[in-house]
Structures are given as structure tokens and as C-alpha cells.
């Protein structure tokens, strides 16, 4: 990459935009494939995207990407222009998708600061072959010989022999004379090297001179539609013969204004005889009007005339200015600051110095502050929310590729993709989701023959659904495949010592959920797509890392349903603060069912000495926090403390603590690494700062008592 463009933000923008365009391109191809044909819009879009990627990559000096994009652009330029009737759609889709994959890989390399050194030659060749085939398939013999597609021929490809062979000089007269011309000049103009498109630069001069010229001839004359003219101009310069009313000074100054002018020679001609010789040849004006298809222009006018003038001007400007892109780093920082602000607010309002004081004005102001901070917090949260659609849509490609390779027929249905979750969470669930979809196609859905035998519809269906459920989002991956095999799971679990209770005592659901345990995989054969030595346990781990949970359900021959429950956001939760001895803990309010002071008479002891409590006829285990975390406290009698009934993941436990401190919004902070890694303390989701400055540990009740 040249220094000129190596500035970080530009590279970041390149990576961002290219990735975005690739996603768009992939979708465009997939939906075209589904509709078994490319619409005009799709072709235009693919062409434009490739054009953009080519341009940006060339600027960043990623030549392999630029070259590949260029060749695909050429292909679609042809399709766009010629609208060929016969096309090998599948080959075309394959090429573009492979191209997308190639560029994606390169982009990833660049992101990882490694050189983008992939070789796209094969793909470029495929693209060129495809273009040639396309031309051949759709050639109307006579016409195609006369008008080769303009893209195929660029200045760079014109060989030296070409130039020699076709190096004839044309002279032509420009527009109808405006003045008779009192002076005659000859000018030779040389352009700077590397300025590109010299013929059009020459044309620009002629175009601007036309107004003042009497007679105007130039050499080479076929500057408009000849590639050789570029080489002639580079070698010999661009010659102009003109009669005009302009004096030498004016003419000289005009030509000196030419952009990328290297040098220029202007000679006054004694008489116009030089020009006469051109006249004799009677060459006509070469300038052919190149018209845009008029239909397009009419369309635009029609469209605009329908909208009232004021609206027309206001509308597009508004829509574009209402959206800006912001770097995620800044949003993270903002989120952090809001978190700090929530803590600071609590520190002020719940300051121990204020205890017992009657401060009505202060309370009013504090309420106002509280209102504003929670509004800010809501807004900041909503800024970070991203719809799941992008993640979901990615799965189309995975299903398509796998179906092709495994020779299965699977439809992917997407429901509720507009559901939003925090940006950070999306990043964490993309991989697990991909894994689940792969599993469904590979292990779940049967082959077409098997399906027909079972009397099922020929093509399998995988449904990807997202919906809100309180402060969580449910993502459901459902397939109508063969379902999980209970016996196999049990057998495997036994082999690996994964059974935690008696086989007979286990519910179906418990058996199915065994597949989520580490070291479990029933597929004997490892395929390309799933079972790469990692199983569902990795999925579980990823989902748990963002505070989510996973559950499996299945019916033989009907299919499997995997449900992911993930929190909307990681950052701020409503929590109930409790006290045990000198320590503080926070329990997410959402999981608290009730809290009460137990009577001694309600307590039951089982033969192992475990404490239980009867509540409305149901029996619940009691866990004393001071025992679990070995905290010294004076309150050890159950009737003196408080019981908090917590429900999480369909398990209910009663937690015993000294007292409730109150409810507040808490900012979830990650536990320090050394606690996470070395101490392995169970059941902690993070920590937070309370209003009085003390640290409180946030409890993950379900995990605390899993064993």
C-alpha cells in the first residue's frame, strides 16, 4: 500500500465498505438464483458493486482484488448492455460467489494485518472464459464482428503491432465555423505521463476551442473512438490547426490552462494554406453524437415531475442526513461513560452522608437527574441495537453451499429477523448460529430419498426465528429432519461418563440436552461442514459467554428445535442488592420470584442434612450464601434473615441472605481476569459498583447451583 493512502481511517473505511458490499452482492446472487434469473436491477447492482470494489481496491493497491473485480465487472457490463438471452446462470452464480469468497478472504487477511497475497488468476480466467462463452452463445455473427464489446479492449491491451498496423493519421474539421478567423495557428500539445485518457483530454481542448474557431483540424482525428489515438498522442503529441480571432497571447494562455500539460508549442501560420490541404481531403466531422438511451432520461423527468417541487428537493436530502455511521469504538466508549454516570449518580443520591437528612429540594433535583440518566441510557442502548437480519441472511449462503455439496434440498425460512440485540452480542452469536444451521443441514435433514420414503415433503425446511421475550431474545433453530436419537445419545453419554443421574430418571429433554455437554458428538463420520472436532459444547460456551442459555428439544422423525436465549444487552441490568455479612451481592431482578422471611416450622431437612423449604405445597432447596462463599456473618438462623426465591432456566432455588438492600440499576463489569481464570468461582456473572462505593458481586444463580 502506498504511503499516500495508508492512513488508518481510509483503510478502515475500505474494509468496512467492501465487506458491506460483499454481503449485499452475496444476497443479490442468492436471491437471483432462487428466482432462477437475474433481474435488471440485480445485474445493475452486481455491476456497480464490482465497479466500486475495483476502484477502491485499485486505490489501496490491492491489485489482485482489483483485477478480479474488474473481470467480473466486465462480465456484467456485457450482460447489462447486451442482455444476452442465453446464460449459464449456475456458472455465473458460482463464479461471483467464489469471487466474493476470495475477496472476503483477502479482506480478512488485511484486517489481520497480513499481506493480501491471494492469487485470483484462476477466477479471472474463469470470468474471461465465461464472458467469451457468453458472447459466443449470443453472437449474431455479422454484428458481433463489427462491434466488439468496448470493455474487452482497453488501451493497456493494445499491443505495439496493433499501433503500427493502424497508425494512419486522420484530419478532421470541427464544428461549423463561428468566426472567419483572422489568425491561423498550429499547436502541438504534450500531456504529462500517466495522466490517462489522453484522447479525451485532447477532446476537451477541441471541445473548448470550438466556440472561437473558424476552421479547426486536429491530429490524430479519431480521438473519440480509437484506442490507438492515445498512443499517438503520447508519442507525437496532439496537433491542432486552427483559424480564430484570438491573438497569439490569448491562444497561448488558453492552451497553457490545459490540465496535465507537459509542454506546448504554438506557431503562428503565415497563411491558411496548411489548413487548405485538410479542406481538400474533405474529411467530415468525426464527432459522432454519443447518445445516452433517451428512455432513461424520460424516465427521470417523469419521475421528478410527479413530485411537487419543494418536496422533491427536501426529501432526498433529509433521508441521507438522517443516518450517519459511527465507529463502534466510540459507541463502546459512550456506553462505558453512561455506565460510569449511572454509578456516579447512585454515589451522589445514595451517599452515606445524606442518610437521615430531610432534603426535599435535593430529592426533587435527584429525581430529575435520575430521569435524565435513564433516558440517556435507553437511547445509548438503542443506538447499539442491531437487527439480527444481517446475521440471519448470512445463513442462506451456508445452506445453499451445503445443499450443493451434500446433494440435499433444504429451504431456509427466516422469521423475525428485524428483532434487535446489542452489537456486541450479535458478534458472539454469529458463529454458534452458523454451527447450528450446519448441524441441521448435515445431521438433521435427511436426503431426498429418505424423506420421500418417510412421506415427508421432498425438500427439508430449516426455520430461523427470533423474537423478544422480556429482557431476552429467543433465537430458535428448527428443522423438520430426523430428530435426535435418544438411544445413541445415552450410549454415547455413558461411554464418556457424562450421565449425572440414573438413565431411567431422565426426562427426554434432559437426555437431549446431554449433547450440549463438553466432549459429546454422535456423528461417527466427520464431514467438511460439521463435526470438525468441536461439538455443541463450543456453541454452548459461546452462548454462555454472553449470558445466554441453550436448550434442545426433539421428536423422532419430526425434527429438532434448538432455542437460544440471549440477553438484549450486556451492560446494564436491574438488580436487587443483598447483604451477607460485610459482603454485597446483586441478583438480576428479572429472575427473582419473591422474597420472604421464613418460619422455622417451614424448614425441612432431608436425610443428607440438606435444608429445604415448603412454599405453597412445593419443596425448594435452600442455599445459604454465607456457606457457599464462606462469608462470616452473625445471621445464621433462617428466621432472622431473608429468603430470595430465584428462578432461572426453569430451575427454582431459595437463596438465603442477611437482608435486602434495595433495587437499583447496576452496570455489569467483567470480573478481573485473575478471578475468572484462577479462582474459578462458580456462579458469578460479574461485579458492579454500588452507590456507597462498595463493590457488589452479581450472582448467576442458575450456574451457582448446577452441581
Q: Give the C-alpha separation, 155 to 194, whole Å.
A: 12
Q: Give the C-alpha separation, 430 to 390, whole Å.
A: 10
Binding site for another protein (CB under 8 A): 4-5, 7, 9-10, 13-14, 16-18, 44-45, 47-48, 51-52, 54-56, 58-59, 61, 74, 77, 150-151, 154-156, 194-197, 199-200, 203-204, 207, 224-225, 257, 259-260, 290, 292, 296-297, 300, 312-313, 316-317, 320, 325
Q: Which is nearer to another protein, 304 or 363 (CB)?
A: 304
Q: Which is nearer to another protein, 52 or 563 (CB)?
A: 52
639 neighbors 626 (Cβ within 8 angstroms): no
Going from the C-alpha of 505 to that of each of 128, 146, 511, 550, the distances in angstroms are: 65, 82, 10, 22
Q: Which is nearer to another protein, 55 or 118 (CB)?
A: 55
Number of Cβ within 10 Å of residue 480's Cβ equals 23
Smallest separation, CB 461 to another protein (Å): 34
Q: Give the C-alpha separation, 667 to 446, whole Å.
A: 47
Pairing of the two strands 460-469 and 549-555:
unpaired
Q: Which is nearer to another protein, 16 or 596 (CB)?
A: 16
Q: Which is nearer to another protein, 13 or 619 (CB)?
A: 13
Smallest separation, CB 313 to another protein (Å): 5
Going from the C-alpha of 406 to that of each of 88, 93, 527, 531, the distances in angstroms are: 22, 18, 10, 15
Distant-in-sequence, close-in-space partners of 416: CB < 8 Å, separation ≥ 6: 388, 465, 466, 467
659 neighbors 642 (Cβ within 8 angstroms): yes
Smallest separation, CB 61 to another protein (Å): 8
Smallest separation, CB 53 to another protein (Å): 9
Q: Which is nearer to another protein, 230 or 704 (CB)?
A: 230
Pairing of the two strands 592-596 and 642-648:
antiparallel
Q: 619-625 — which CB contacts under 8 Å span 24+ positions?
A: 620/645, 620/652, 620/653, 620/654, 621/653, 621/654, 621/705, 622/653, 622/654, 622/655, 622/656, 623/653, 623/654, 623/655, 623/656, 623/704, 623/705, 624/656, 625/578, 625/580, 625/585, 625/655, 625/656, 625/657
Grouping H, G, I as helix, E, B as strand and the rest as coil, residue 252 is helix
**DSSP single-letter state for residue 678:** I
Q: Which is nearer to another protein, 28 or 664 (CB)?
A: 28
Q: Which is nearer to another protein, 193 or 247 (CB)?
A: 193
Q: Which is nearer to another protein, 222 or 345 (CB)?
A: 222
Phi and psi dihedrals of 144, rounded to 5?
-65, -25
Smallest separation, CB 414 to another protein (Å): 25
Grouping H, G, I as helix, E, B as strand and the rest as coil, residue 464 is strand
Q: Give the C-alpha separation, 439 to 416, whole Å.
A: 21
Q: Which is nearer to another protein, 252 or 541 (CB)?
A: 252
Smallest separation, CB 156 to another protein (Å): 7
C-alpha cell at 454: 418417510
Q: Which is nearer to another protein, 7 or 327 (CB)?
A: 7
Smallest separation, CB 41 to another protein (Å): 9
Q: Which is nearer to another protein, 194 or 533 (CB)?
A: 194
**DSSP single-letter state for residue 177:** P
Smallest separation, CB 300 to another protein (Å): 6
* Distinct helix (H) and strand (E) counts, the chain: 24, 23
Smallest separation, CB 51 to another protein (Å): 5
Dihedral of CA atoms 485, 489, 492, 497 in degrees, nearest 10, equals -170
Q: Give the C-alpha separation, 687 to 669, whole Å.
A: 5
Q: Which is nearer to another protein, 282 or 302 (CB)?
A: 302
- Helix axis angle for 89-111 and 8-34, nearest 10°, is 160
Pairing of the two strands 385-387 and 410-415:
unpaired
Pairing of the two strands 583-588 and 695-699:
parallel
Smallest separation, CB 198 to another protein (Å): 10
Q: Give the C-alpha separation, 133 to 423, whole Å.
A: 45
Q: Which is nearer to another protein, 58 or 517 (CB)?
A: 58
Smallest separation, CB 55 to another protein (Å): 5
Smallest separation, CB 326 to another protein (Å): 13
Smallest separation, CB 43 to another protein (Å): 13
Smallest separation, CB 122 to another protein (Å): 23
The maximal CA–CA distance of the chain, rounded, in angstroms, is 126
Amino acid at each position: 500500500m502506498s504511503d499516500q493512502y495508508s492512513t488508518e481511517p481510509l483503510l478502515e473505511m475500505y474494509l468496512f465498505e467492501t465487506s458491506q458490499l460483499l454481503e449485499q452482492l452475496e444476497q443479490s446472487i442468492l436471491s437471483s438464483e432462487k428466482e432462477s434469473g437475474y433481474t435488471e436491477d440485480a445485474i445493475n447492482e452486481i455491476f456497480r458493486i464490482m465497479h466500486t470494489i475495483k476502484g477502491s481496491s485499485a486505490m489501496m493497491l490491492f491489485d489482485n482484488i482489483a483485477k478480479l473485480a474488474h473481470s467480473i465487472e466486465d462480465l456484467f457490463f456485457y450482460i447489462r448492455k447486451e442482455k444476452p438471452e442465453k446464460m449459464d446462470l449456475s456458472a455465473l452464480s458460482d463464479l461471483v460467489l467464489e469471487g466474493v469468497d476470495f475477496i472476503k478472504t483477502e479482506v480478512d487477511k488485511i484486517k489481520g494485518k497480513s499481506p493480501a497475497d491471494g492469487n485470483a488468476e484462476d477466477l479471472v480466467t474463469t470470468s474471461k472464459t465465461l464472458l467469451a462463452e457468453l458472447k459466443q452463445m449470443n453472437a449474431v455473427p455479422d454484428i458481433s464482428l463489427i462491434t466488439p464489446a468496448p470493455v474487452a479492449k482497453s488501451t493497456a491491451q493494445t499491443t505495439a503491432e496493433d499501433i503500427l498496423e493502424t497508425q494512419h493519421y486522420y484530419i478532421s474539421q470541427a464544428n461549423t465555423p463561428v468566426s472567419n478567423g483572422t489568425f491561423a495557428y498550429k499547436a502541438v500539445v504534450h500531456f504529462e505521463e500517466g495522466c490517462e485518457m489522453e484522447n479525451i483530454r485532447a477532446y476537451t481542448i477541441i471541445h473548448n476551442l470550438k466556440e472561437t474557431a473558424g476552421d479547426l483540424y486536429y491530429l490524430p482525428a479519431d480521438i473519440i473512438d480509437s484506442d490507438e489515438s492515445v498512443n499517438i498522442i503520447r508519442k507525437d503529441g496532439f496537433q491542432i490547426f486552427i483559424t480564430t480571432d484570438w491573438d497569439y497571447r490569448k491562444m497561448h494562455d488558453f492552451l497553457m490552462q490545459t490540465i496535465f500539460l507537459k509542454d506546448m508549442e504554438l506557431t503562428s501560420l503565415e497563411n491558411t494554406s496548411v489548413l487548405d490541404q485538410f479542406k481538400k481531403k474533405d474529411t467530415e466531422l468525426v464527432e459522432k453524437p454519443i447518445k445516452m438511451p433517451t428512455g432513461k432520461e424520460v424516465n427521470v423527468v417523469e419521475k421528478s415531475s410527479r413530485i411537487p417541487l419543494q418536496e422533491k428537493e427536501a426529501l432526498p436530502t433529509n433521508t441521507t442526513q438522517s443516518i450517519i455511521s459511527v465507529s463502534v469504538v466510540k459507541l463502546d466508549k459512550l456506553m462505558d461513560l453512561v455506565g460510569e454516570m449511572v454509578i456516579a449518580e447512585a454515589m451522589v443520591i445514595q451517599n452515606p452522608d445524606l442518610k437521615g437528612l430531610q432534603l426535599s429540594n435535593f430529592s426533587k433535583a435527584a429525581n430529575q437527574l435520575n430521569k435524565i440518566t435513564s433516558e440517556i441510557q435507553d437511547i445509548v442502548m438503542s443506538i447499539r441495537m442491531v437487527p439480527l437480519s444481517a446475521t440471519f441472511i448470512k445463513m442462506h449462503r451456508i445452506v445453499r453451499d451445503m445443499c450443493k455439496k451434500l446433494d440435499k434440498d433444504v429451504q431456509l425460512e427466516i422469521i423475525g429477523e428485524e428483532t434487535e440485540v446489542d452489537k456486541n452480542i450479535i458478534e458472539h452469536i454469529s458463529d454458534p448460529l452458523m454451527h447450528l444451521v450446519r448441524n441441521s443441514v448435515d445431521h438433521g435433514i435427511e436426503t431426498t430419498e429418505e424423506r420421500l420414503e418417510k412421506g415427508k415433503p421432498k425438500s427439508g425446511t430449516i426455520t430461523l426465528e427470533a423474537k423478544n421475550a422480556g429482557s431476552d431474545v429467543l433465537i430458535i433453530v428448527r428443522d423438520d429432519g430426523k430428530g435426535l436419537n435418544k438411544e445413541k445419545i445415552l450410549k454415547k453419554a455413558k461411554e464418556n461418563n457424562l450421565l449425572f443421574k440414573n438413565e431411567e430418571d431422565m426426562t427426554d429433554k434432559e437426555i437431549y440436552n446431554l449433547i450440549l455437554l463438553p466432549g459429546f458428538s454422535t456423528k461417527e463420520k466427520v464431514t467438511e461442514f460439521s463435526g470438525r472436532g468441536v461439538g455443541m459444547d463450543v456453541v454452548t460456551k459461546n452462548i454462555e459467554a454472553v449470558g445466554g442459555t441453550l436448550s434442545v428439544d426433539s421428536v423422532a422423525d419430526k425434527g429438532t428445535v434448538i432455542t437460544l436465549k440471549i440477553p438484549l444487552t450486556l451492560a446494564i441490568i436491574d438488580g436487587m442488592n443483598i447483604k451477607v455479612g460485610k459482603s454485597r451481592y446483586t441478583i438480576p431482578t428479572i429472575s427473582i420470584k419473591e422474597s420472604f422471611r421464613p418460619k422455622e416450622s417451614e424448614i425441612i431437612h432431608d436425610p443428607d442434612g440438606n435444608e429445604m423449604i415448603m412454599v405453597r405445597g412445593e419443596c425448594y432447596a435452600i442455599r445459604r450464601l454465607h456457606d457457599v462463599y464462606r462469608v462470616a456473618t452473625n445471621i445464621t438462623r433462617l428466621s432472622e434473615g431473608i429468603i430470595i426465591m430465584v428462578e432461572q432456566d426453569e430451575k427454582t432455588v431459595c437463596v438465603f441472605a442477611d437482608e435486602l438492600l434495595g433495587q437499583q440499576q447496576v452496570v455489569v463489569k467483567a470480573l478481573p481476569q485473575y478471578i475468572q481464570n484462577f479462582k474459578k468461582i462458580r456462579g458469578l456473572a460479574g461485579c458492579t459498583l454500588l452507590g456507597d462505593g462498595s463493590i457488589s458481586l452479581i450472582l448467576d444463580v442458575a450456574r451457582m447451583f448446577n452441581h
